[in-house]
Structure 1
Amino acid sequence: MNRRGPGLLGVAARTAVVAGTASAVGGRVQQRQQAKNDERDAGQPAEPSPDDLIGQLERLGALKKQGILTDAEFVAQKNRLLAE
């Protein structure tokens, strides 16, 4: 017998693995989206991580250095970020 590919059992197994992986990934994405929606509905904004806050402050500093933000705008935006 001269086979060219993985046979019926191999194809079925591969299909099951692909479908299972897609289902697991889709479930995780749905859970994350639901958590974000629940958070938004509760009216409680997510607390930014320290890395996010530092990154935002660095971007503000860069905008001020480039002359895009005035000193007053920079201070106002910085205070807004630190108050969150």
Structure 2
Amino acid sequence: MPGLLRGVARTAVVAGTATAVSNRVSRRQAGRWAQQDVAASEQYAPPPAAAPAPPAPAPPVPGDDMSSKIAQLKELGQLKEQGILTEEEFAAQKSRLLSS
């Protein structure tokens, strides 16, 4: 009986070790495949679209200076709301417009 018990214990240890090694190999392979998938998707991904340049402000109309500035400020505000202009670009354009 002790020989049988020893054989069963040895089999359990070998099976447990084999299972642990197999699981580790599977996890390592899955990690490598995931890295390859990411690299492949980055390689074939389309380049990000460039942000369009802000439109040039309309030339001022003589005698209608204040209303044209207000219209341009509204356009700048809309561009900022749409995400075309950043806060810094909006502030720079606004100060340039108001100083002219």
TM-score between the two structures when normalised by the length of structure 2: 0.38
TM-score between the two structures when normalised by the length of structure 1: 0.45
Q: Between Structure 1 and Structure 2, whose CA radius of gyration is higher?
A: 2
